[in-house]
Amino acid sequence: MSDNLRNGFRSDRGESLRPSGMPRHENQGPPRGSQPLSSQRMRFRLRQFSRHRLLRRSLSWIGTLLGIVWALPLTIVGLLFALPVLAWRGHAQFIRGHTAALLVRGPFADAVLSRHPFGAMTAMALGHVIIAEQQGLSSRVLMHELAHVRQAERWGIAFPFAYLASSAWAGIRGRDAYWHNRFEIAARKAEKH
């Protein structure tokens, strides 16, 4: 049976010319491009609902909370490190941007960061805690460390292992373990935005 007889006739524009009483072939589904009306309404309602400002803000907070919980083991390590910094004339500040973080600075942080095993640093992120020098923290460095906080949110407890693996991979290929680490490259890109 030809397509014209089975499907009815079609106009130049692809419209069906089949008489309204003529039944469709048994094996055919609904006409192409059509969906049940309830499905179309549901999609429309979901699009409207997703544009709602309160919903977006609520989902953002839920995402932040889930990220904090996922990175909690690393954040606990950061808080344990922050305790001596705060005890030795340090201070803390809550940062809220694309993610939440606790910024901790003080003389103890200066001493530890200047003697870090990977070389002197201005700041470092441990979960949702950023340990920074008292003087040298620019907005660029802060954006870099917040990128590491977001990475910890995504990777959770696996983040330190993934970071070290990325450094090892760079070293195996004969490149610098810090500058060619994929997490550091992403953090440097975040500095520019």
Task: Give the pLDDT confidence of 15-49 residue by residue, as tens digits.
Answer: 555 555 555 554 455 555 555 557 777 777 777 76
Q: Which residue has the higher pLDDT, 137 or 108?
A: 108
Q: What is the reported pLDDT for 175?
A: 95
Is residue 89 left, alpha or beta, with left meaning phi > 0 and alpha meaning psi from -120 to 50? Answer: left
- Burial pattern 6-17, b for ≥16 Cβ within 10 A else e, equals ebeeeeeeeeee
pTM: 0.68
Residues 6+ apart with CB under 8 A from 58: none
Q: How far apart are the first and last CA of the chain?
A: 63
Mean pLDDT value of segment 102-114: 93
Is the CB of residue 99 less than 8 Å from the CB of residue 130?
A: no
Q: Which two tokens stand for residue 149?
A: 């906080």
Lowest mean pLDDT segment, chosen from 52-56, 71-75, 76-80, 155-159: 52-56
Query: What is the C-alpha separation between 58 and 49, in angstroms, rounded?
Result: 12
Cα gap 114→117, rounded to integer Å: 9
Domain boundaries, given as residue ranges, for the chain: 36-70, 71-191
